[in-house]
Structure 1
Amino acid sequence: MPSPPQSPPLAAYAVTSDELSPTHNKRRAGAARRGGAACTIAEECERLFCETLRTVFLGEGNVARQDSLALGMYDINNHDGHHNDSIAVSDDKKMDGSYDSGIGMPPSPPGSSLAVDYGFPQHQRGQVGQWIEVWDYVGGARFRGFVAGDGDDKAMFVFFDSEATVRDLKPGLMALIELCGLDEFECARLNVCLDRKAPAEDMRGLMKDLGWIGFEPVTLAEWAEKPPIVSDAWVLLGMEV
């Protein structure tokens, strides 16, 4: 699994709606690229798309890559059961320290249990509104995904690759559910995409565990204008959050 982007959090601050405006994003994107702080989350997420997902969410016949700047990092710190949430901007300094040999995770910021890189497409294409990359320092897992839709139909899609079936996903799942409710995302649903190439026994166990939480099998019917509505690479499970 590739190592994470080499750009650490610089400082925590509150992001205003003005700072998240398209005009501000474009200015930030230009400055960040010149400083070397830009991270292309979109390319890594799109790499996980099968042909069905690409057709439904990115537009049929459009294979051009969609660039995305990682605007910041959302840290969830857990001290004695209490969460302290913040958003940090990436700086152009390089990260020092070693990576976890199992998943290639960056060193955890002090007191941080989870970090989320997120970006907005510079040019809207298809139904994707945001790209995300989640680092779970507790469970030792990484999740990539995207946000699509608007209002009550807005949903977060997260990919669980074959390695996810053998990791402790509980901390990451709880964090993902919490992320859906944040102002930066405001998702009504959380959909997880399970890798069909995962061992069958591991897949059955994971689906059973997710079912106990409230996840149910879903299709792409509400997103697709025409068939196919089932991915040949991913099994989709969803729940309202």
Structure 2
Amino acid sequence: MQKWFETSLGQYLLEEEQSYFDQAVINIFGYNALQIGFPQLNFLCANRIPYQFRLGISPGASFYALPDFLPIESGSMDLVLLPHILEFNSNPHQILREVHRVLMPEGHVLISGFNPFSLWGVTRYWKTVRNEFPWYGQFIALPRLKDWLKLLDFEIVGGRLGCYAPPFSKEKWIKRFHFMEAAGDRWWPISGGVYFLHAVKQIHGMRIIKPCWENKLSTKRKIVPATQKFKNTVK
């Protein structure tokens, strides 16, 4: 995995992801931020939250743990990043449930994933690269991921797609097809190799409406005809 990120294609992906995460997290505030997966990469560097942690099982992690069962207090995180962790785990639903648990109400989650309906998604069916990173991952379709988030009461507030150029292994071909980045957003926006989602945790509560008995009684006491008072005094 680390070797792949050092290739030309891996650097191309990292530049796209770092650009998105820098723009998305810069105005998110709070006390605690967590990045799950790829701890050797710091996607929280543009954020100003004072306490930042990177969770994983490889060097660079703040603490070692699996994303399925987070050793973190419920409702304690303001921001959680999931860079490509869902498609390389056997139980992505459990990871999302854990993220929902540790996030505080109105907490933010940012997700990046490989789009199966793209040139990147087609590449994983080639026999020569089928067992290599990242092509062996279980790519999750964007509509399906949105449905999972809605079931957990997340509200999707932003996102986009990127990496429209074909996943060439050589740098010169990646640069030659770089024009597809601008053209992709305009002409085929759903075919980007990578998608990004920004969602906010929503908590639906209820408001108990109590009858205002005291106000009703006080208004009834005040409504006394002045003429009746005058007649009683005359008698």
Say whether the fold is shared (TM-score over 0.5): no
- TM-score normalised by the chain length of structure 2: 0.29
Report which of the two structures shows the higher radius of gyration computed on alpha carbons: 2
Structure ranking higher in strand proportion: 1
Structure ranking higher in helix proportion: 2
- TM-score normalised by the chain length of structure 1: 0.29
